[in-house]
Structure 1
Amino acid sequence: MQVNNTPASYGLLAILLHWIVAFAVIGLFALGFWMVDLSYYDDWYRRAPDIHRSIGILLFGLMIFRLLWRLASSLPKPIAAHKRWEVLIARIAHMLLYVLVFTAMVSGYLISTADGSSISVFGWFDVPSVTGQIKGLEDTAGLVHYWSTWALIALVAVHAAGALKHHFFDRDETLGRMLVPARRND
């Protein structure tokens, strides 16, 4: 099993980062969607947002690493059967996924720290506010967070549909390259 990408396939590290981020983003969206309707007297009223923030902060660090890894390692070449417009759309979609993930994370951070407080990450460490108290910041950041997460989850659905289209209709290796790591001979 190859850790690095090859011209034909993604390596183990790229695949693991992809799926960890995918599950974290979908899980955070589901948790956020569920927790906004919790009442003050619900047992999860404080616990769910703490978990949401903690995972979001850890995901931010992982996304920084993923972005650096993507910039440092070469990507597999597009599959020969892909049309130029498909390759271009895929590149734009991937770029938008990165922008939306970072927008959602930064806006979520700003919601939680707009009053000057820090975020405790599972009690392991605290991430301080970089803005201090800014009146109304949580409302603006809240709107950005709301719309960026909905846009993100919509784009994730389109991304998944595209992968399934390539797998079941085009019968090419698009999805397979993100499931099986490159071999040393690739």
Structure 2
Amino acid sequence: MALHSSSDQYGSVAVTIHWLTAVLIVIALLTGFRAAAAEDVTTEAALLRVHLPAAALVLVLTVVRVVWWLGIDDKPEPIDGAPRSQQLIAGTVHLLFYVVVFGMIASGIGMMLASGAAPAIFSRDVPALPEFWHYRPRIPHGLGARLLVLLLIAHLAAALYHHLRGDRVFRRMWFGRNPKS
């Protein structure tokens, strides 16, 4: 598999960034939702110790992805015969992913700065954590998390739809050569 994308296959760099980001987003979402529901400070802090680095890595990978697409690599052509409406929906969902991810990162950083929670989260003895819902960035962060879940569901549903149709969309974003069928 080539580093760069071809007209019908994503390259290994794009594929790696995609799947690492996907796993890290799921980790960040799961730990974020669990931390918000945690009943004791020790559990909440432990979950946030995973949540914050996962989110930071999502930011780094997303910036690398944007730089990769803007300056280094070209995306493959749309699948032959894909209706224009599907291409438009796919483009919109992907754009929303970027907007929501950057919004989530910004609101998360805003919460950490406003609450001053980072030192407590990463200390050995966590005496207390702030009530995050008292800070304004919590509202867009919570809404963004729910929107991100909906986008992931839509993205997975579309991938499954295309996989079941046999139109190679899933194989284009996986490792190995995508034989044209």
Same fold, TM-score > 0.5, yes or no: yes
How far apart, CA to CA, are the structure 2 residues paired with 1:116 and 1:45? 15
SS of 2:37 mapped into structure 1: coil
Greater relative contact order structure (CA < 8 Å, 6+ sep): 1
Kept in 2, the 8 Å contact 1:4–1:13? The answer is yes
How far apart, CA to CA, are the structure 1 residues paired with 2:122 and 2:59? 15
1:1-186 aligned within 5 A: 1-40=1-40, 43-72=42-71, 73-115=73-115, 139-168=135-164, 170-182=165-177
Aligned residues: 169
Kept in 1, the 8 Å contact 2:10–2:76? The answer is yes
Kept in 2, the 8 Å contact 1:111–1:138? The answer is no
Structure with greater proportional helix content: 2
Per the normalisation by structure 1, the TM-score is: 0.82
The residue number in structure 2 matching 1:132 is: none
Which letter maps to 2:168?
E
Q: CA deviation at 1:67?
A: 1.1
How far apart, CA to CA, are the structure 2 residues paired with 1:32 and 1:84? 36
How far apart, CA to CA, are the structure 2 residues paired with 1:111 and 1:81? 45
Kept in 2, the 8 Å contact 1:111–1:137? The answer is no
Percent of aligned positions that are identical? 27
Kept in 1, the 8 Å contact 2:6–2:75? The answer is yes
Segments of 5+ residues of structure 1 without an aligned counterpart are 124-135
Kept in 2, the 8 Å contact 1:51–1:122? The answer is no
Per the normalisation by structure 2, the TM-score is: 0.84
SS of 1:39 mapped into structure 2: coil
How far apart, CA to CA, are the structure 2 residues paired with 1:56 and 1:102? 10
How far apart, CA to CA, are the structure 2 residues paired with 1:119 and 1:69? 34
How far apart, CA to CA, are the structure 2 residues paired with 1:181 and 1:106? 35
How far apart, CA to CA, are the structure 1 residues paired with 2:158 and 2:121? 35
The residue number in structure 2 matching 1:130 is: none
How far apart, CA to CA, are the structure 2 residues paired with 1:119 and 1:57? 16
Kept in 2, the 8 Å contact 1:29–1:149? The answer is yes
